[in-house]
Structures are given as C-alpha cells and as structure tokens.
Chains A and B, each alone.
Chain A
C-alpha cells in the first residue's frame, strides 16, 4: 500500500490556519476541534439517554410509584434510550470523536484529507441530534416502537409517536447517515493516503486498524438502514406497502397490502449486526493500545490482532439473522446463521487471549486508563460468552426477548465499549489538554462504574433464565415469576442509579483537571505511537510543526532488550526492536 509523502506540502498548510475564534472553534476544519465537538455532542446526548434509562429502571424497580411514567412514556424511553446509545452516542463518539482526533495524529498527518467535508460531517451530525431531540416536543412525543423500529407497529395506532415521532426518527437517521458518510470517507481516505513516510499498514497502531475497519463496515452497513428508513417513510407518508401487509388497526382495515414486515428486519439487521462491530472494533483497537502502553509491553500477536479485526469485520456481514431466529423467517436459515455466528467466536476469543497475554510478563502500571482497560477485558469476556448462548439458535428459543438478551447486549456493547471510552479519555486527555487527570477521582470513578455495572447486569441474566420478558412496562401477575424477582429488580435499579450518579465523578475530573491538573508534558505514559511525539501538546493546527515525522518501526516497541528506555517511539531510528530503516517491511514481527 503506497503512502503519500506530504513533506513537500508544508507550505500549503499555512493557508488553512484559522485566524478568528469562529473559524478556530465553531466552523472549524481542524480534526482535533471537530473531534471534541463530536465527542461533546455525543456525550451530551448520551446523558439524555442515561436519564431515560434511569426513568425506565425506576419504573421496573418500583412499579406504580412514579407519576411521570405511564406505559406510553415508558416505551418511548425504551426506544430513545436504545437508539441514542447505539447510534448517536457510541457510533458518533468512536468515529467522530476518537477517529477524528487520533487518525491524523497516529498516521503522522496534518489533518484529514478533506477538512471541509469533515466540518460538514459534524454539523450534519448535530442537525440529526437536534431533529431527534425535537421529537420529544411534538404531539404524541417520540416514537415508542423500540429502537429496532419493527413495522407494522411503528406506523400504526397503538404505538406512541406513530405519526410525527417516527417520522422525525427516520429523518434524523437519514441525516445521521449523511453525516457519517462524509466523516467515514475521510477516515478511510486519510488512513489509506495520508500515512507519513515509513508508516506501512502493518505498522499502524491497532486503534487505527479498529476505527478503519469499523468505518469500512459502516459505509457498507448504513445504506441498508438508509433505504429501510426511506421505504418506511414512503409507507408512512405515501401509502406504499414495502413493509405493510393487509392488516387491521382498531377494527378498521388499513389500506396496505402485500408488504413484508420481515423484509424490514433483514434490512435493519443487515445494518444492525455490523453496527455492533462498528462500536466494538474501535473499542478493540483503543483498548489494545491502552493495555500495551500501561503494561509496558508490545501488544501480543499484533499480526493476528489485525487479521482478527478484519475477519470479525468480514464475518459480521453474514450473521445478521441471528437476531431473527424467532422472527418467523424460514427456520432453515437457523443452521447457517448459528454456524457463522459461532465461528466469529474464534477470532474474538483470540483477541481476548492476546490482550491477556499482553499482560503476561509485562510491567503493569495500574493507572486509571489501565484499570478501565482490564475492566473491559472482564466485561467483554462475560458478554462474549453469553453471546454463545444466544447465537446457538436452539438456545435462543427460550432466551430470546427475555432479560437475558438485555443483559447480554448491555454487557457486550454497552458496558464494555463505555469502559473503553473512559480508558481512552483518561489515556489521551493529557494529549488533548496538556494536563493529567486526577488519579484518585479517576480510580473512584472506575470502581463505582466497574463494580456497579456488574451488579446491574449479572443478576439481570438470571431474570432472563427465569423467563421474564423484556420491554414490559410492568410484569403484572404471572404464575411463574416469584416475588423475589421484584426484589431483585429493585436492587438492579439501585445499582443502576448508583452508577448513573457516580458518573459525576468523571465530569468533575474532566473540568477540574482542565484547570488544576498536573502539566503532563508531551508523552506522560511513555508511549510509542506518533500522537505522543508531537512538538506541541496539545498539538497545534497542522500537528507537526515544520517537518512531518518519519516512521522507523512498528507501534509497539516497549521494553526492547538493550535499549535504555522501556519504549522506542515510532519515529526513532536505530536497529533496536522491530525497525527497519532500509526497506519498509510489511511484516515487522519477523525481525523480532
């Protein structure tokens, strides 16, 4: 893969330098500012979704107590919580936030390839968030169809927000996809074309590999969501019947005929399953770099880790119908999708082994980012293993649509990625601000979050075994659910509220450290990758001063024997570790 030498373009850079406050911080084309705009917006809207989950948990833990929460608003909260967390928080934060900040820096580039498009990407994203939030203020409120938006109920009476709320949701998703496409094309192009001299693909940090692959997935997957959103909008506004068979609503025959609700599910999950990895792969990448840096040891099995990311990304397109085992699709599909789904376990397990083996014979510094990273490995093992239950088609029969599913996906794509988000923020905050975050507050935040979330989700699996259905406003009376299940639910709610409230520690830390944090210097963790080698911290516009860095080695030369320091930055020449100044070899490890 060829790289584009950019050193010759140094003088052009001057023209792009922003001069006013507006161009520097508002209509900014600097990837670092856009990253922070993206991250700030995503975290804000994530807090809205966190509030909605608190509302749901209050109803479930203490039913019939809070007058704000009726069935209608409960299902609206369920829906908006899910959609916001998956798309508007996690996707936007990993791609728009970390992707924007880290890709150019880790590639030794001055910025994204298309800075203007990058700026537009953020503003379209903000617009999609505003459209989404506006649905809280329209007649009927936001849609309450569940984040999966399964027709026909999304657009029939009997579902909250079936007129305006759903329309705003569909428009917002379409705008989000436009925003993402502009950003995503940038990330792909930048990785392929803007790597600095010596930075071959197989020398890229895993963070870049994770975000790069996830972006490719997203560019293939989001169109499926876009077309289904458009088709559903047509069903809603123009009376087409893409997803609508002949049905009744409130005793009336509706004017639809011949459509297929299952078609929507296929389109949705063709997007929806890769979406899981759109969130997970960047997390895999980020956590690999955090683990390696703080263990003072190379990531174990770098090449396998790269191929595992690619294999997982590829396989993620042929497993989607494992979300549909009990949807009424042809049951013979179950054989195929159960097999592909369980095959994914192999490269995924390999990643877990290699993370743990990275700790083996390391020199582990238990800094706050490292604690979050280790916490991630634990929760990800848990969530990954429960996936083996649900992926095995026959086990999905009793467990589908129960709290087991809720517990599983929160563990694997809620808690795990969020722990990585925190690990990454604690890890890269010094680069972004020049200040260290407070370790004591950080550790308190870690313990509350890590133990608290486990207290929420471990018991929740057992409600699922019992057969408690998900998406129930209230359990009502049944013969098979004992009173003790309600007591358990109350405890889960208390744990959830505890976790929600303790997140304030994080925000205090972020703002307090901005002013009072210890100065970090350029490379406080002794890390090897390029973003830590910038001449200024935080990096200035253009990132690298006059000369772009030249890369001489892979991203993981930690504790190289014979070298005085326990890390060798990628841009340091010399015949130690996995470097080669003469030819840019694609297989660094063979020199080890």
Chain B
C-alpha cells in the first residue's frame, strides 16, 4: 500500500522537479536547435511513458494488493495485447529515432562554405591553428614537434607557412559563419566541448576528427575537455569568443604566422643584461634571490616562463590582486620593460645565468611530500621537478623554497592564478587546493628541496 503511494509521489515529484529545476540546457549559441528539438520530443514521449506505466503499476499494486479470500486471475498470456503494446512501442521509438537520424544526417554533412580551423589538444592545454590567407592548413606530424615547433608543422610545406598559430587557450570565431573544426591530439584522447554549441567530438592521436557548427550568438564560452585525459583533465580549459567579423579579423591579424615565428631573431642577451641591472637590486647580480627583500631566486628558470610572468605582471594578470603584497611591488618593475623584445631579452639573459644554490628554509615530511608530488605535481613538472616546455611547467628544483610556499598559498587563496587570462594559473589553483593544509604544502616543498 505504501509502495503504491510512493510510486505516485515519485512520479508527481519527478514531474514537479523537472518543471521547477533551474538546471537545464544552457541557452543555445549555434545552429543546432534541431538537436534541442529532438531532445524535447524525446522528453515528451518518454515522459508520457514514464508517467503512464508507473501510475498503472501503482494502481495495480493498490487495486490488487492481498485481501482475505482474494485469488489472482489465471492468465498465462495474451498475444494480442503483447503484440499491440509492442507495436505502439515501435511507433514511439520510430517517432524519436527518425528525426534523430535526419538531424544526424545534417551533422555528418559539412556545408561547402564552412571554413576550417584546427583544434590541437594536449595534456592539459588547448591551442589552435587557422589556415591563413591561402585557406589551406599545412601538413603536420607528431615527429616534428619540438620546443621551437610545438604544433609539429612540416617546415617544408608551403601551405603551412601562412598558418596562424594560436598557442593560447583562447580562440575566436566569426558569428554567423559555418565552421568546421578539425581536431587533433598530440598525446591522449581529449574531447572538444562547448556546451552552448551542443556538439562535441573526441580528439584522437594518430588521426584527425571533425565537427561543424555555425556560432549564432556573440559572446565568450567555455571550452571543456570531456574525455578523461589524465590527472589534469578537469583543468584543461579554454575559451571561444564568438565575435563580429571585424573584431574577429582584428584578433586574427594580431596572431603570428608559422613563418613569422620560425624566422624570429634570437633574443639579444647583451641588451637583456643591461635591463637586468634594475632587477639585480632585489634579485641579486646572479639572480640568486634575497629572502630579506622577498625576492625569489631567478637563475635556473626557463626563459619562456620568465617571459610569460613578466607579461602577466605588465598586463595586470599577476600582481594586481589587493592581497598580493609582493606581486604588487613587482608589477611596476615589470612595466619598466617597455617592449616585447625587452621582455624576451631579459628573460633570455636570466635563463643563461649560472645556477646558484639556495638555502633550505622549509622543513617537512619528505616521504609524504614525495607521495603527493609524484601523484599530482609530477605529471606537469616532471618526476625530477625540472619542468617542461611541453606542459608549460617551470623548473622547481633548487629554487627558493620559501617562495614556493608563498606561491602555493597564493594559488590556494586565488591571489594568484585566478585571473581569467592566466592560462595555466587556474590549473595551479586547482592542484594547489588539493593540498589541504600547511603541513602538506611544507611536505611537498621539502620533497622538492630533496631533489637537488
């Protein structure tokens, strides 16, 4: 008896929950309204079946519950009824499947006028490639991938020379134009998902997959990875900005082509040395750092990391948070480097300074730290802690340990890394938060000290 009531309440409750729920599809921002239509149709058909069958079951339980003297009716089967019910079910199934297949046919048929762009996935970053003026993407191969050629461009392919390389998680698309995304992975499976576009597809290493859509609403949307790709899966994020054609063109023209990047002159270390003079007052002549001035050691860091951080300071991505006391001191110093070349030069100078020792100031449980480090940090920073250009993770070994503690705490408190333009900071926010207490932070830093 209670179960009959419960079944009715669950049906009613489910329907009420459905209509009250604030959790529903994001407003659509692509041409795939037909997908939403198919979902709604399926909802009505299955919803009706859910209500009808369960209420009928509740009625049976109520009506035919045991009473004294009652005997069940003996009826082994009723072929007519069973065939009839199956036929009705088949009609319902066809009503849902047929429109679904029609929509799928449009999904697998890419319109002629769709322009191509490429999405490149790797653990745990997005980057993008646009075909440039010739409209043709140059050939690529995993075997070409290196620090100076992260896209694996074929240097001999003329079609690739004007390809526009966006090594940044943010990409642009023009509104109202159909686009075909070619998907490629450097390492493991990923999945290119923008919830508002409704469509998604895996990136599979060794092959190129695709999907197409027409963005219809100007705005900025999250790109998520939706195929488990290792421990950084949940922090593999990007943004797609759907913009008016003019804004899109302007953005695109600011991005470098492969030929430009390949022919870029080497940084001028002598010029960098001159600019470093200002830095030396706090960070030391050899970049050895000075804790009394809250200046961390710099020598031993990779140039691309120094360059990125200096730019972040300049752009207010880093060192702008009101609680970032030392970062706020650094920001105006970074702004004294007036050009991109100046930043490159000083970064190159620092990265070639002889590596000095830094004293141990943090103590913790090294073996516990090792477990945490190997399980979580090593995926990007390497088991040896030396970092990698491939994961954009800086060297950690031999750096100022007191500074590491401050930065981990800053990440945890979202003082650093939470800015929307801090491409890799959000990953560190998430990973640093996995260290719940000060002991764990100290353990990890103590382990990193032991790697020297």
Residues in A lying within 8 Å of B, measured CB to CB? 63-67, 69-73, 75, 140-141, 144-146, 150, 152-153, 156-160, 245-253, 258-262, 295-298, 300-304, 326-328, 331-332, 334-335, 338-339, 342-343, 345-347, 349-350, 352-354, 356-357, 359-366, 371, 374-375, 377-378, 381-382, 385-386, 388-389, 392-395, 397-398, 400-402, 447, 450-451, 454, 458-459, 462-463, 465-467, 469-480, 482, 484-485, 488, 556, 558-561, 566, 577-578, 588-589, 592
Contact = CB atoms under 8 A, between A and B. Distances in A.
B42 A388 contact: yes
Interface in B393-452: 418, 426, 429-431, 433-437, 440
Contacts of B165: none
A156 B82 contact: no
A470 B89 CA distance: 31
A480 B195 contact: yes
Contact of A556 (B32, B76, B435): B76
B235 A476 contact: yes
Given A248-B142, A476-B426, A560 B74 contact: yes
B388 A250 contact: yes
Nearest to A463: B23
Contact of A145 (B101, B198, B228): B228
Interface of B: 1-3, 6-7, 10, 14, 17, 21-26, 32, 34-35, 38-39, 42, 45-46, 49-50, 53-54, 56-57, 60-61, 64-66, 70-79, 81-82, 85-86, 89-90, 93, 96-97, 100-101, 103-105, 107-108, 122-123, 141-143, 145, 147, 183, 185-189, 191, 193, 195-196, 198-207, 209, 220-222, 224-235, 237, 372, 374-376, 378-379, 382, 388-391, 418, 426, 429-431, 433-437, 440
18 contacts: A70-B376, A158-B123, A258-B206, A260-B206, A296-B66, A301-B78, A301-B82, A302-B76, A335-B101, A345-B93, A346-B93, A356-B60, A363-B64, A392-B97, A397-B199, A398-B25, A447-B6, A466-B25
Given A248-B122, A301-B82, A328 B6 contact: no
B195 A364 contact: no
A393 B100 contact: yes
A381 to B, nearest CB: 6
Closest 6 interchain pairs by CB? A245-B206, A251-B390, A467-B195, A72-B375, A158-B230, A328-B209
B376 A71 contact: yes
A159 B379 CA distance: 8
A471 B233 contact: yes
A327 B211 CA distance: 12
B228 A395 contact: no
Nearest to B71: A559
Contacts of A488: 23
Interface core residue of B24, B39, B90, B376 (most chain A CB under 10 Å): B39
B66 A364 contact: yes
Contacts of A326: 191, 200-202
Contacts of A400: 200, 226
B315 to A, nearest CB: 19
Contact of A381 (B53, B193, B226, B228): B53
Contacts of A150: 189, 227-228
B228 A75 contact: yes
A397 B204 contact: no
A346 B60 contact: no
Contacts of A72: 231, 375-376
Nearest to A350: B86
A123 B331 CA distance: 66
Nearest to B1: A366
A140 B376 CA distance: 11
